[in-house]
Structure 1
Amino acid sequence: MSGNDYNRRNKVPRPLSDHEKARLDEFIDSIHYSARYSDDEYEYRHVQLPKNMLKAIPKDYHDQQKGTLKLLWEEEWRALGITQSLGWEHYEVHEPEPHILLFKRPINYVPPGQ
Protein backbone atom coordinates (compact mmCIF):
# COMPACT_ATOMS: atom_id res chain seq x y z
CA MET A 1 0.00 0.00 0.00
CA SER A 2 1.25 3.43 -0.82
CA GLY A 3 1.39 6.13 1.79
CA ASN A 4 -1.54 7.93 0.19
CA ASP A 5 -4.09 5.18 0.63
CA TYR A 6 -5.63 6.82 3.68
CA ASN A 7 -6.41 9.76 1.39
CA ARG A 8 -8.42 7.54 -0.90
CA ARG A 9 -11.36 7.63 1.52
CA ASN A 10 -12.80 10.41 3.64
CA LYS A 11 -11.81 9.89 7.29
CA VAL A 12 -15.47 9.62 8.22
CA PRO A 13 -18.49 9.35 5.92
CA ARG A 14 -19.42 12.77 4.62
CA PRO A 15 -23.21 13.09 4.32
CA LEU A 16 -24.75 14.92 1.38
CA SER A 17 -26.94 17.95 1.93
CA ASP A 18 -30.48 17.92 0.53
CA HIS A 19 -29.32 20.38 -2.15
CA GLU A 20 -26.45 18.08 -3.18
CA LYS A 21 -28.78 15.06 -3.30
CA ALA A 22 -31.25 17.00 -5.43
CA ARG A 23 -28.50 17.70 -8.00
CA LEU A 24 -27.90 13.94 -8.32
CA ASP A 25 -31.55 12.86 -8.65
CA GLU A 26 -31.71 13.26 -12.42
CA PHE A 27 -28.87 10.74 -12.88
CA ILE A 28 -30.10 7.93 -10.64
CA ASP A 29 -32.19 6.18 -13.30
CA SER A 30 -29.13 6.10 -15.59
CA ILE A 31 -26.82 4.26 -13.18
CA HIS A 32 -25.86 0.91 -14.70
CA TYR A 33 -25.13 -2.18 -12.59
CA SER A 34 -23.04 -4.99 -14.04
CA ALA A 35 -23.79 -8.65 -13.60
CA ARG A 36 -21.96 -10.18 -10.65
CA TYR A 37 -18.79 -12.16 -11.16
CA SER A 38 -16.67 -13.93 -8.58
CA ASP A 39 -13.43 -15.64 -7.62
CA ASP A 40 -12.87 -18.03 -4.71
CA GLU A 41 -13.29 -15.35 -2.05
CA TYR A 42 -15.40 -12.48 -3.32
CA GLU A 43 -18.21 -11.62 -5.63
CA TYR A 44 -17.74 -8.44 -7.63
CA ARG A 45 -19.73 -6.03 -9.68
CA HIS A 46 -19.09 -2.67 -11.20
CA VAL A 47 -21.39 0.29 -11.14
CA GLN A 48 -21.22 2.73 -14.01
CA LEU A 49 -22.31 6.27 -13.28
CA PRO A 50 -23.38 8.63 -16.07
CA LYS A 51 -20.26 10.68 -16.89
CA ASN A 52 -22.07 13.97 -16.31
CA MET A 53 -22.99 12.79 -12.82
CA LEU A 54 -19.34 13.11 -11.74
CA LYS A 55 -19.60 16.89 -12.14
CA ALA A 56 -22.57 16.98 -9.76
CA ILE A 57 -20.84 14.98 -7.01
CA PRO A 58 -19.31 17.21 -4.29
CA LYS A 59 -15.61 17.96 -4.59
CA ASP A 60 -14.71 16.30 -1.30
CA TYR A 61 -15.85 12.95 -2.72
CA HIS A 62 -13.12 13.32 -5.36
CA ASP A 63 -9.43 12.43 -5.22
CA GLN A 64 -7.97 15.54 -6.82
CA GLN A 65 -4.60 13.87 -7.52
CA LYS A 66 -6.03 10.91 -9.40
CA GLY A 67 -8.99 12.64 -11.02
CA THR A 68 -11.33 9.94 -9.70
CA LEU A 69 -13.78 9.59 -6.88
CA LYS A 70 -12.34 8.59 -3.54
CA LEU A 71 -13.19 5.17 -2.19
CA LEU A 72 -16.65 5.78 -0.81
CA TRP A 73 -18.09 4.63 2.48
CA GLU A 74 -21.37 2.75 2.13
CA GLU A 75 -23.24 5.76 3.51
CA GLU A 76 -21.67 7.91 0.77
CA TRP A 77 -22.33 5.68 -2.22
CA ARG A 78 -25.88 5.08 -1.06
CA ALA A 79 -26.32 8.86 -0.78
CA LEU A 80 -25.29 9.16 -4.44
CA GLY A 81 -28.22 6.94 -5.37
CA ILE A 82 -26.40 3.63 -5.81
CA THR A 83 -28.70 0.86 -4.59
CA GLN A 84 -27.34 -2.59 -3.78
CA SER A 85 -27.99 -5.21 -1.15
CA LEU A 86 -25.95 -5.18 2.06
CA GLY A 87 -22.30 -6.10 2.31
CA TRP A 88 -20.87 -4.42 -0.78
CA GLU A 89 -17.65 -2.45 -0.35
CA HIS A 90 -16.37 0.15 -2.81
CA TYR A 91 -12.78 -1.07 -3.10
CA GLU A 92 -11.32 0.42 -6.27
CA VAL A 93 -11.69 3.15 -8.84
CA HIS A 94 -10.76 2.62 -12.45
CA GLU A 95 -8.59 5.61 -13.35
CA PRO A 96 -9.04 5.41 -17.15
CA GLU A 97 -12.83 5.41 -16.58
CA PRO A 98 -13.44 7.35 -13.37
CA HIS A 99 -17.22 6.99 -13.64
CA ILE A 100 -16.93 3.22 -13.03
CA LEU A 101 -16.89 2.15 -9.38
CA LEU A 102 -15.74 -1.35 -8.45
CA PHE A 103 -17.46 -3.20 -5.60
CA LYS A 104 -16.84 -6.49 -3.85
CA ARG A 105 -18.25 -8.51 -0.99
CA PRO A 106 -17.40 -11.90 0.50
CA ILE A 107 -19.04 -14.85 -1.24
CA ASN A 108 -22.00 -16.12 0.80
CA TYR A 109 -22.19 -12.79 2.65
CA VAL A 110 -24.78 -12.86 5.42
CA PRO A 111 -25.87 -9.46 6.80
CA PRO A 112 -25.41 -9.02 10.56
CA GLY A 113 -28.42 -10.17 12.55
CA GLN A 114 -29.68 -12.64 9.92
Structure 2
Amino acid sequence: MTNLDEMGIDTSRRNASPRPLTDNERARLDEFIDSIHYSTRYSDSEYEYRHVQLPKAMLKAIPADYHDKAKGTLKLLWEEEWRAMGITQSLGWEHYEVHEPEPHILLFKRPLNYQPPQ
Protein backbone atom coordinates (compact mmCIF):
# COMPACT_ATOMS: atom_id res chain seq x y z
CA MET A 1 0.00 0.00 0.00
CA THR A 2 1.30 3.41 -0.95
CA ASN A 3 1.73 5.97 1.82
CA LEU A 4 -0.63 8.78 0.82
CA ASP A 5 1.06 11.34 3.10
CA GLU A 6 4.41 10.67 1.43
CA MET A 7 2.75 11.12 -1.95
CA GLY A 8 1.32 14.49 -0.86
CA ILE A 9 -2.32 13.41 -1.19
CA ASP A 10 -4.75 15.43 0.93
CA THR A 11 -7.00 12.69 2.30
CA SER A 12 -9.31 15.32 3.84
CA ARG A 13 -10.53 15.93 0.27
CA ARG A 14 -11.82 12.35 0.03
CA ASN A 15 -14.87 10.67 1.47
CA ALA A 16 -13.94 9.36 4.94
CA SER A 17 -13.99 5.84 3.50
CA PRO A 18 -14.75 4.52 0.01
CA ARG A 19 -18.44 4.92 -0.77
CA PRO A 20 -19.53 2.13 -3.12
CA LEU A 21 -21.88 2.94 -5.97
CA THR A 22 -25.31 1.39 -5.94
CA ASP A 23 -26.25 -0.79 -8.92
CA ASN A 24 -28.52 2.03 -10.16
CA GLU A 25 -25.73 4.65 -9.88
CA ARG A 26 -23.30 2.37 -11.72
CA ALA A 27 -25.85 1.77 -14.48
CA ARG A 28 -26.19 5.55 -15.00
CA LEU A 29 -22.43 5.79 -15.62
CA ASP A 30 -22.16 2.82 -18.00
CA GLU A 31 -23.07 4.85 -21.11
CA PHE A 32 -20.00 7.08 -20.59
CA ILE A 33 -17.32 4.43 -20.04
CA ASP A 34 -16.31 4.10 -23.70
CA SER A 35 -15.79 7.88 -23.91
CA ILE A 36 -13.28 8.15 -21.05
CA HIS A 37 -9.91 9.35 -22.42
CA TYR A 38 -6.56 8.36 -20.88
CA SER A 39 -3.45 10.45 -21.46
CA THR A 40 -0.07 8.95 -22.12
CA ARG A 41 2.12 8.65 -19.04
CA TYR A 42 4.64 11.33 -18.20
CA SER A 43 7.06 11.52 -15.28
CA ASP A 44 9.44 13.51 -13.13
CA SER A 45 12.22 12.14 -10.92
CA GLU A 46 9.78 10.61 -8.37
CA TYR A 47 6.42 9.84 -9.99
CA GLU A 48 4.75 8.91 -13.20
CA TYR A 49 1.56 10.77 -14.00
CA ARG A 50 -1.44 10.57 -16.26
CA HIS A 51 -4.68 12.41 -16.56
CA VAL A 52 -8.07 10.92 -17.19
CA GLN A 53 -10.64 12.99 -19.03
CA LEU A 54 -14.23 12.14 -18.27
CA PRO A 55 -17.01 13.12 -20.68
CA LYS A 56 -18.40 16.41 -19.30
CA ALA A 57 -21.94 14.99 -19.20
CA MET A 58 -20.68 12.16 -16.97
CA LEU A 59 -20.10 14.61 -14.08
CA LYS A 60 -23.88 15.12 -13.78
CA ALA A 61 -24.42 11.35 -13.45
CA ILE A 62 -21.83 10.92 -10.67
CA PRO A 63 -23.46 10.83 -7.19
CA ALA A 64 -23.53 14.13 -5.27
CA ASP A 65 -21.46 12.78 -2.37
CA TYR A 66 -18.53 12.25 -4.78
CA HIS A 67 -18.51 16.03 -5.37
CA ASP A 68 -16.71 18.71 -3.36
CA LYS A 69 -19.30 21.47 -3.28
CA ALA A 70 -16.78 24.02 -1.93
CA LYS A 71 -14.46 23.55 -4.93
CA GLY A 72 -17.07 22.75 -7.58
CA THR A 73 -15.17 19.59 -8.55
CA LEU A 74 -15.15 15.93 -7.71
CA LYS A 75 -13.57 14.95 -4.41
CA LEU A 76 -10.32 13.02 -4.55
CA LEU A 77 -11.56 9.51 -5.20
CA TRP A 78 -10.55 6.27 -3.53
CA GLU A 79 -9.41 3.58 -5.94
CA GLU A 80 -12.62 1.62 -5.29
CA GLU A 81 -14.64 4.70 -6.25
CA TRP A 82 -12.87 5.59 -9.51
CA ARG A 83 -12.77 1.94 -10.60
CA ALA A 84 -16.52 1.61 -9.90
CA MET A 85 -17.12 4.65 -12.12
CA GLY A 86 -15.49 2.79 -15.02
CA ILE A 87 -11.96 4.19 -14.94
CA THR A 88 -9.57 1.35 -15.77
CA GLN A 89 -5.82 1.49 -15.31
CA SER A 90 -3.11 -0.69 -13.85
CA LEU A 91 -2.38 -0.93 -10.11
CA GLY A 92 -0.74 1.74 -7.98
CA TRP A 93 -2.40 4.87 -9.34
CA GLU A 94 -3.70 7.42 -6.83
CA HIS A 95 -6.14 10.21 -7.68
CA TYR A 96 -4.32 13.25 -6.31
CA GLU A 97 -5.95 16.28 -7.91
CA VAL A 98 -8.78 17.58 -10.08
CA HIS A 99 -7.90 20.15 -12.73
CA GLU A 100 -10.18 22.89 -11.35
CA PRO A 101 -10.53 24.93 -14.58
CA GLU A 102 -11.70 21.69 -16.24
CA PRO A 103 -13.31 19.60 -13.46
CA HIS A 104 -13.85 16.62 -15.77
CA ILE A 105 -10.06 16.05 -15.84
CA LEU A 106 -8.73 13.88 -12.99
CA LEU A 107 -5.00 13.75 -12.25
CA PHE A 108 -3.34 10.51 -11.14
CA LYS A 109 0.16 9.61 -10.04
CA ARG A 110 2.14 6.67 -8.73
CA PRO A 111 5.77 6.15 -7.72
CA LEU A 112 8.21 5.57 -10.56
CA ASN A 113 8.94 1.87 -11.07
CA TYR A 114 5.85 0.92 -9.04
CA GLN A 115 5.71 -2.79 -8.24
CA PRO A 116 2.38 -4.25 -7.11
CA PRO A 117 2.40 -6.22 -3.86
CA GLN A 118 3.14 -9.93 -4.34
TM-score range, shorter chain: over 0.9
Distance 1:76 1:36 in 2: 21
> Aligned ranges for residues 77-96 of structure 1 at < 5 Å?
77-96=82-101
Counterpart amino acid of residue 23 in structure 2:
D
Distance 1:10 1:100 in 2: 19
TM-score, with normalisation over the residues of structure 2? 0.90
Distance 1:6 1:45 in 2: 19
Deviation (angstroms), 1:8: 1.1
Runs of at least 4 residues of structure 1 off by over 4 A?
Answer: none
Deviation (angstroms), 1:106: 0.4
Question: How many residue pairs align between the two structures?
Answer: 109
Give the match for residue 59 of structure 2. 54
Counterpart amino acid of residue 101 in structure 2:
P
1:68 aligns with 2:68: no
1:105 aligns with 2:105: no
RMSD of aligned C-alpha atoms? 0.8
Deviations 1:23-81 (A, max 9, x none): 00000000000000000000000000000000000000000010000000000000000
Distance 1:93 1:100 in 2: 6
Counterpart amino acid of residue 10 in structure 1:
N
Give the match for residue 19 of structure 1. 24
Give the match for residue 10 of structure 1. 15
Counterpart amino acid of residue 81 in structure 1:
G
Structure 1 residues 7, 25: CA separation in 2 closer, same or farther (over 3 Å shift)? same
Counterpart amino acid of residue 28 in structure 1:
I
Give the match for residue 6 of structure 2. none
Name the SS of the counterpart of 2:31 in structure 1. Answer: helix
Give the % identical residues: 84
1:29 aligns with 2:39: no
Counterpart amino acid of residue 78 in structure 2:
W
Deviation (angstroms), 1:87: 0.1
Counterpart amino acid of residue 116 in structure 2:
P
